[in-house]
């Protein structure tokens, strides 16, 4: 597939590493309405958390699009991402709706 036809998130992934140095916190946004890609989200998160430069970073997960009917709950996302299995890392998950501005301040205040 030609690079210009690839989804934006795939094209940008290799550049994430450019921002790892001196990172104190990771904010990871999950589309709660997209059950089909939660496995991809988990794999990407696990890959990031294995990076040596991020070993001391706290993790904030925004379970976004909570305003959409049928969206996964924060508990479902937590389980799907394997957050409860994280050892030696402080983490939190917050239900959010970016379009309504709900939950964002709670997470950032954490």
Domains defined along the chain, listed by start: 23-109 (3.40.50.300)
User: What local confidence, expressed as pLDDT, does residue 86 receive?
Assistant: 93
Higher confidence at residue 4 or residue 37?
37
CB 67: neighbour CB atoms within 10 A?
Answer: 15
Annotated binding site: 64-67
52-97 pLDDT, tens per residue? 999 999 999 999 999 999 999 999 999 999 999 999 999 999 999 9
User: What local confidence, expressed as pLDDT, does residue 14 receive?
Assistant: 76
Annotated binding site for GTP: 64-67
Report the phi/psi class of residue 95: left, alpha or beta, with left for phi > 0 and alpha for psi in -120 to 50: beta
Higher confidence at residue 98 or residue 4?
98
Backbone angles phi, psi at 101, to 5 degrees: 75, 25
**Is this model's pTM higher than 0.85 or not?**
yes
């Amino acid at each position: 597939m030609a690079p210009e036809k690839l989804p934006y998130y795939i094209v940008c992934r290799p550049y994430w590493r450019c921002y790892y140095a001196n990172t104190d916190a990771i904010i990871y946004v999950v589309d709660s309405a997209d059950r089909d890609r939660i496995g991809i989200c988990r794999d990407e998160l696990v890959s990031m958390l294995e990076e040596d430069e991020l070993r001391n970073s706290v993790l904030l997960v925004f379970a976004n699009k909570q305003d959409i009917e049928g969206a996964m709950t924060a508990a479902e996302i937590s389980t799907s991402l394997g957050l409860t299995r994280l050892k030696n890392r402080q983490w939190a998950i917050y239900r959010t709706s970016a379009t309504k501005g709900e939950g964002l301040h709670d997470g950032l205040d954490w």
